[in-house]
C-alpha cells in the first residue's frame, strides 16, 4: 500500500495550482480571461484542486495555521463544483485580485517550515 501524501505534498500541490493560474493569466485582463473560455475553466479547475488539497490537509495542520481561511478555500471548491451553474465571474475576479497572492505567500511560508524542520 502506498504511503498517503503528507501535508507538505498537499501544500506543494496548492502552490503548483496557484502558479498555474498565474501562468494561465499572463498579462490578460479579466475581460480577456472570461472571453477565453479555456483559460477561465482552467482557472476554475485549479481552484477546485486548491480546495480539495486544502480539505485533505490534516486537521492538526489547519488548526496550527489559522491565518489561512481554510474553510473559505474549501467552500470555494464546493461552490465551483456543486454550484457550477451559478458561479459568479465577479467572485472569481475577487479571488484573483485579492486572495490568490496572499495565499501563495502563506503556502510558501508553510512549505519553508517543513524544509527547515527536515534539515
Q: What would the pLDDT profile of 50-93 be if each residue is shown by its tens digit?
A: 999 999 999 999 999 999 999 999 999 999 999 888 999 999 99
Confidence at 3, pLDDT banded by 50, 70, 90: low
Residue 16 maps to a domain: yes
Count CA atoms closer than 13 A to 111's CA, side-chain side.
Answer: 14
Let me know the angle formed at the C-alpha of 43 by 74 and 65, rounded to the nearest 5 degrees. Answer: 35
Q: State pTM to two decimals.
A: 0.91
Q: Is the pLDDT of residue 119 over 90?
A: no
Residue 73 maps to a domain: yes
10, 45, 62, 77: which one is catalytic?
77
Instruction: Please name the residue ranges forming H helices in the chain.
Output: 7-25, 30-35, 37-56, 59-64, 70-82, 89-94, 100-118
Told to judge if 82 belongs to the known catalytic residues of this protein, a careful annotator would answer yes
pLDDT at 68: 98
- Give the integer Cα–Cα distance in Å for 66 and 103: 12
Domain that holds residue 67: 7-118
Residue 105 maps to a domain: yes
Tell me how many domains the chain contains. Answer: 1
Residue 1 maps to a domain: no
2, 37, 45, 82: which one is catalytic?
82
Told to judge if 37 belongs to the known catalytic residues of this protein, a careful annotator would answer no
Let me know the angle formed at the C-alpha of 93 by 59 and 86, rounded to the nearest 5 degrees. Answer: 80
Residue 63 maps to a domain: yes
Share of the chain above pLDDT 70, in %: 93
Average pLDDT on 4-26 reads 94
Amino acid at each position: 500500500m502506498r504511503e498517503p501524501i503528507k501535508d507538505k505534498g498537499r501544500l506543494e500541490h496548492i502552490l503548483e495550482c496557484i502558479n498555474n493560474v498565474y501562468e494561465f493569466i499572463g498579462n490578460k485582463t479579466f475581460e480577456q480571461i472570461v472571453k477565453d473560455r479555456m483559460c477561465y475553466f482552467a482557472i476554475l479547475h485549479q481552484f477546485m484542486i486548491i480546495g480539495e488539497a486544502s480539505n485533505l490537509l490534516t486537521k492538526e495542520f489547519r488548526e496550527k495555521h489559522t491565518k489561512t481561511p481554510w474553510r473559505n478555500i474549501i467552500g470555494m471548491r464546493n461552490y465551483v463544483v456543486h454550484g457550477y451553474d451559478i458561479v459568479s465571474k465577479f467572485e472569481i475576479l475577487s479571488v484573483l485580485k485579492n486572495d490568490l497572492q496572499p495565499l501563495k505567500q502563506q503556502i510558501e511560508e508553510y512549505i519553508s517550515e517543513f524544509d527547515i524542520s527536515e534539515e
